[in-house]
Amino acid sequence: MSTEENIAKTIDGKTIAANIRTGIKEDVDKLVASGKRAPGIVVILVGDRQDSHTYVRNKKKTATEMGFVSIDCILPGNTSQEEVIEIVRKYNQMPEIDGILVQLPLPSHINEETVLNEIDITKDVDGFHPINIGKLAMRGRVPLFEPCTPKGCIELLLQSGVTIEGKNAVVLGRSNIVGLPVAMLLMNRNATVTICHSKTANLKEVVAQADILVAAIGVAKFVKKDWVKKGAVVIDVGMNTDENNKLCGDVDFNEVKHVASQITPVPGGVGPMTIAMLLKNTLISAMRRQGVEKL
């Protein structure tokens, strides 16, 4: 039987996100008290993916509780690309909207890059405008916004006392939404970063070198105990269902917790951070757009 000291510390994303939301709410109250308007955000959702609808519903509830003006634009799955672009352009022109989020993934008949290119870069609170991603990838450049889930992963590490500089970081997955941007954020904080994917040779051995492992491949319980170096910090971005139809991550939590030093659970790890980072980005945008340097 494992002794208590062999069990990883659970990184509590719910509590960390709640503390961040408290700070944002205080800042929104200060912004409004100073005579400025509350931050405004619109989410454009195309189609009927249940995970996307759940995220948007939670975002709306949280944003409203924190004093934001929150608009949801829910469109059927057969909405044309031209119609989506027209809606983006409409919100670009509305001064009371500080953030525009197009929920990804989009239906296959809509070109994601074309739509994201249309978002006013000063309202790109999701951080996926090609110019923001390009600046993230270049030394000496600073994007206006960092993508929310990757930014949340970094915040979890920082608030858990993890030193990133000089560490071997392995990112399992290379999606535009998580894998690539989180790798760039880690590199910008002076980690030595390896990005793994389906074509990586000796995948298990590469992952086992990680001091910091970010798993974002979308395969339930893919990472097992013998894949993880003793004492590693594990950030699990996966959101899957297991054989019992229960939510689980890309990491086999019950196995890996016996070798990792810290690990995020699913649910309750990275998930709550995404909305918190989105609202933080939107508050930053509202302050910039109203000429407020600090509160």
Alpha-carbon span 48 to 143, nearest angstrom: 31
Catalytic residue (choose from 103, 123, 221, 250): 103
Which of 5, 292, 282, 294 has the alpha carbon at shortest distance from 144?
Answer: 282
- 126 labelled catalytic: yes
Catalytic residue (choose from 27, 59, 250, 252): 59
Helix H or strand E encompassing 99: strand 99-102
Alpha-carbon span 242 to 231, nearest angstrom: 26
Measured CA angle at 82 (ends 78, 88), to 5 deg: 105
The string over 154-168, giving b where at least 16 C-beta atoms fall within 10 Å of a residue's C-beta and e elsewhere, is: bbbbebbebebeebb
If one counts every other C-beta atom within 10 angstroms of the C-beta of residue 90, the result is: 13
Angle, in degrees to the nearest 10, between helices 148-159 and 179-188: 40
Given the structure tokens 């990005």, which residue do they identify? 195
Which of 109, 103, 114 has the alpha carbon at shortest distance from 149?
Answer: 103
Catalytic residue (choose from 126, 236, 250, 252): 126
3-state DSSP assignment of residue 65:
helix
Measured CA angle at 112 (ends 108, 114), to 5 deg: 125
Question: Residue 264 is encoded by which pair of tokens?
Answer: 């995020």
- 103 labelled catalytic: yes
- Which is it for strands 233-236 and 262-263: parallel, antiparallel or unpaired? parallel
Alpha-carbon span 243 to 199, nearest angstrom: 26
Active site residues: 59, 103, 126
